[in-house]
Amino acid sequence: MQALHTINDIRSALKQARRAVEQTKLTSTVGMIPTMGYLHEGHMSLIRRAKSECDLVVVSIFVNPLQFGPTEDFDKYPRDAERDLRLAEEAGADFVFMPSVQEMYPAPIKTKVIVTSITDVLCGASRPGHFDGVATVVTKLFHIVQPDQAYFGMKDAQQVAVIEQFTADLNSPVRIVRCETLREPDGLAMSSRNVYLNEEQRKQAVVLIETLRRIDDWVAEPGMTIEKLTQHIRGNIESAPLARIDYAEIRTYPGLEPVASMEEWHANQPILVALAVKFGGTRLIDNRIFG
Amino acid sequence: MQALHTINDIRSALKQARRAVEQTKLTSTVGMIPTMGYLHEGHMSLIRRAKSECDLVVVSIFVNPLQFGPTEDFDKYPRDAERDLRLAEEAGADFVFMPSVQEMYPAPIKTKVIVTSITDVLCGASRPGHFDGVATVVTKLFHIVQPDQAYFGMKDAQQVAVIEQFTADLNSPVRIVRCETLREPDGLAMSSRNVYLNEEQRKQAVVLIETLRRIDDWVAEPGMTIEKLTQHIRGNIESAPLARIDYAEIRTYPGLEPVASMEEWHANQPILVALAVKFGGTRLIDNRIFG
């Protein structure tokens, strides 16, 4: 595995590696896993899947300042390059691209890739500009690496919807592969931000997945409505005393339109139930897609 | 030469053609000329240049509704597909990609590529949203064709600045090639919109290039200032009775910052003198870059 820090280096390394593959096969395929580092088992499962489907696997590690708000955790976002390299290699990556902020933004950027409407809700509502930053940096990374497919975890379901939207709208040649959320043994969705949780918060954080798992039962109750279902969801989360709900919403997926009735729930599947809950200063998200 | 109407068709035709080239050479290069059709000698010179520098040349013809304002000439923009195909072939194109609006925008587009600051001035000031439409469609076309280089005429100097800006900001792998403006024998910059001019307007339209050519003399005058120079330029254009100035401005290139003094003119070259002038309902642009 090679670690590369500049755009020129990753481009020429990939060119050479593709050429080597094409000595024996007609075409080469490159799979990419864009990450912000501090890799965990979730990222590793994406890398393993890419490795099983592509000739060459590139992991990018870049904590993108553009997608953090001024009061968010850009500076304290956890970083551990050495450990990341070890884990990426273990999972089967061929290249790790880890550019500096200076390499990615050598001058003030005047261009933005913006996605409208589906970015105004859920995480977009409380994190203005976040998805512009995501769409812009993912466009940059795709242009640098030029992968055939890119792998994203469904924990960030809205992010996946946004990335599918702009790659389709802009005719990007990159195929987006949705991958299932990986979970800790007690069900907590894996996230680099889980390290922020103290012991008591970590214990209570399991309420997100427990709530999502109870939805089938609630939906089966006679006379259920979207309003009541939302109340059940909120009530269940609030049973954890440290939980403060940012949002708990029911929407179509990937269009992220509101769902007005249980008739719509059954007719317009897939349906996303998306949660964002704060424990102290740490904001966790999780979701489940029905149908 | 092949004419192709769908994204799938142009992609697979190019894949096959690249592979054929690569039977004899290590790599293949694709040159692209994005146009809105109604080709003239200016476009043909871009095609010829691309042909001399690349293995394969793709001309796209697409009148992009996204870059026209609601009161602009989208519907009456001149179109002649048959003649375009003849001229493109004559100039050496290998492929003409001419998609329908439906093919390019199968659903309402939710994504925009926007470039800030340099799009607020000159043509951007009187055509709000125009350059968002240009940046978005050029990004789409680059993703569809994946050329190695793309050729643009410098008559649209601000458009070239915008395209250079977003391709650099987004790390597009496409190299942008600036090409000199082609002119009619009397000096009028070639443009598909020239067909709108009646005989008298056509005669007077030459005032744009005549004004641009006189600037060297004015700059050499002792005591010249940016203000006086601008007055000379405006006065000279207004000597044509049918001319109505939209703008006549002096700016750095490609940053498009204002120029405050002749010291700055001499220190901050290249400097752009950009003109937009209406003759009846037809808006013509022209420019010259100094230094």
User: What is the rounded CA–CA span in Å between residue B39 and residue A241?
Assistant: 69
User: What is the rounded CA–CA span in Å between residue B261 and residue A105?
Assistant: 31
User: Chain A contacts of B110, Cβ < 8 Å?
Assistant: 115-118, 165-166, 169
User: Do A144 and B171 count as a contact with CB atoms less than 8 A apart?
Assistant: yes
Active-site residue set of B? 43
Query: Tens of pLDDT along B222-257?
Result: 999 999 999 999 999 999 999 999 999 999 999 999
Choose, out of A139, A162, A165, A257, the residue to mutate when testing the contact with B (most B CBs < 10 Å): A139
Of A110, A118, A135, the CB nearest to B169: A110
**Closest-approach residue (CA) in chain B for A7:** B171
User: Do B116 and A111 count as a contact with CB atoms less than 8 A apart?
Assistant: yes
Across chain A, how many H-helices and E-strands are there? 11, 10
Q: What is the pLDDT of residue B263?
A: 96
H or E stretch at B28: none
How do B271-279 and B243-252 pair as beta strands?
antiparallel
Q: Which two tokens stand for residue A251?
A: 């929407």
Q: Does the A2-179 domain belong in CATH 3.40.50.620?
A: yes
User: Do A171 and B111 count as a contact with CB atoms less than 8 A apart?
Assistant: no
Using an 8 Å Cβ cutoff, are A244 and A282 in contact? no
Q: What is the pLDDT of residue B88?
A: 98
Query: Tens of pLDDT along A132-148?
Result: 999 999 999 999 999 99
User: Chain B contacts of A170, Cβ < 8 Å?
Assistant: 111, 113, 136, 139-140, 143
Q: What percent of chain A has pLDDT over 70?
A: 100
User: What is the rounded CA–CA span in Å between residue A11 and residue A4?
Assistant: 10
Query: Tens of pLDDT along B42-82?
Result: 999 999 999 999 999 999 999 999 999 999 989 999 999 99
Of A111, A118, A139, the CB nearest to B110: A118
- Residues of chain B whose beta carbon is less than 8 angstroms from a beta carbon of chain A are 7, 11, 109-118, 135-136, 139-140, 143-144, 146, 165-166, 169-173
User: What is the rounded CA–CA span in Å between residue B134 and residue B116?
Assistant: 13
User: Do B140 and A7 count as a contact with CB atoms less than 8 A apart?
Assistant: no
Choose, out of B11, B104, B139, B162, the residue to mutate when testing the contact with A (most A CBs < 10 Å): B139
Known catalytic membership, residue A43:
yes
- Residues of chain A whose beta carbon is less than 8 angstroms from a beta carbon of chain B are 7, 11, 109-118, 135-136, 139-140, 143-144, 146, 165-166, 169-173
Confidence category of residue A160, pLDDT binned at 50, 70, 90: very high
User: Do B165 and A113 count as a contact with CB atoms less than 8 A apart?
Assistant: no
Confidence category of residue A273, pLDDT binned at 50, 70, 90: very high
Number of CB atoms found within 10 A of residue A152's CB: 21
Q: Is residue B89 predicted with pLDDT exceeding 90?
A: yes
Strand partners, B290: B271
User: Do B136 and A173 count as a contact with CB atoms less than 8 A apart?
Assistant: no
- B260: three-class secondary structure by DSSP: coil
Of B135, B146, B172, the CB nearest to A173: B146
H or E stretch at A282: strand A282-290
| Mean predicted lDDT score pLDDT of chain B | 97
Query: Tens of pLDDT along B109-157?
Result: 999 999 999 999 999 999 999 999 999 999 999 999 999 999 999 999 9
Any idea how long chain A is? 291
Strand partners, B282: B279
User: What is the rounded CA–CA span in Å between residue B273 and residue B289?
Assistant: 6
Q: Is residue B265 predicted with pLDDT exceeding 90?
A: yes
Confidence category of residue B268, pLDDT binned at 50, 70, 90: confident
User: Chain B contacts of A115, Cβ < 8 Å?
Assistant: 110-111
H or E stretch at A62: none
User: What is the rounded CA–CA span in Å between residue A137 and residue A112?
Assistant: 9
Half-sphere exposure of B126 toward its Cβ, with a 13 Å CA cutoff? 13
- Average pLDDT in the B8-14 region? 98
DSSP letter at B122 equals T
Residue A237 CA from chain centroid, whole number: 22
User: Do A170 and B115 count as a contact with CB atoms less than 8 A apart?
Assistant: no
Of A112, A113, A169, the CB nearest to B109: A169
Query: Tens of pLDDT along A217-262?
Result: 999 999 999 999 999 999 999 999 999 999 999 999 999 999 999 9
Closest by CA to B7, choosing from B134, B100, B89, B81, is: B100
Distance from CA of A74 to the nearest CA of B (A): 21
**Closest-approach residue (CA) in chain B for A140:** B170
Q: What is the pLDDT of residue A26?
A: 85
**Closest-approach residue (CA) in chain A for B120:** A110
Chains A and B form CB pairs within 8 A to the count of 70
Q: What is the pLDDT of residue A268?
A: 82
Confidence category of residue B26, pLDDT binned at 50, 70, 90: confident
User: What is the rounded CA–CA span in Å between residue B54 and residue B146?
Assistant: 13
Number of CB atoms found within 10 A of residue A219's CB: 16
Q: What is the pLDDT of residue A189?
A: 98
Closest by CA to A99, choosing from A37, A14, A30, is: A37
Query: Tens of pLDDT along B174-220?
Result: 999 999 999 999 999 999 999 999 999 999 999 999 999 999 999 99
**Closest-approach residue (CA) in chain B for A119:** B110
Q: Where in chain A is the domain with CATH 3.40.50.620?
A: 2-179
Q: What is the pLDDT of residue A269?
A: 85
Q: Where in chain A is the domain with CATH 3.30.1300.10?
A: 192-290
Catalytic-role residue among A43, A130, A143, A266: A43
| Mean predicted lDDT score pLDDT of chain A | 97
User: What is the rounded CA–CA span in Å between residue A128 and residue B117?
Assistant: 21
Confidence category of residue B269, pLDDT binned at 50, 70, 90: confident
Domain formed by B192-290, architecture: 2-Layer Sandwich (3.30)
**Closest-approach residue (CA) in chain A for B174:** A143
